[in-house]
Amino acid sequence: MLGDLLSRLTDETTALKTVAGAGDSRLLVTAQEMAAAEGLGLGAYVTQAVQRYANEASNEEWATLMGLLNRAADPGAVCIRRALESALRE
């Protein structure tokens, strides 16, 4: 299930739809600003953030993510939020 979710979020169109549909305008604006700063479109930026998160997250972060996903109505939005928050800390 998590593998399927991550696979879908590495598709730019799906990632863009997920972040736009998350209902978090602050997250959307922040992601747009971060994408512009790197010279990328929003979909490409979110895709890269999810890929980087999947490759570099600590074991503790994965445990936290799994707990959040189990309670989430929208697992895709949770995963993107965590990936973008991780990118902000870098």
| pLDDT band at residue 2 under the 50/70/90 scheme | low
What is the distance of C-alpha 87 from the center of its chain?
9
Predicted TM-score (pTM) above 0.75: yes
Separation in Å, CA 86 to CA 65, 89: 12, 5
Provide the terminal-to-terminal Cα distance of the chain, rounded to the nearest Å.
28
Do residues 42 and 33 lie in contact, with contact meaning Cβ atoms separated by under 8 Å?
A: no
- Sequence spans of domains, the chain: 2-89
Distance from C-alpha of 15 to C-alpha of 89, rounded to nearest angstrom: 20
Model confidence over 4-63: pLDDT tens digits?
767 776 777 887 787 777 778 888 888 889 999 999 988 888 888 988 999 999 999 999
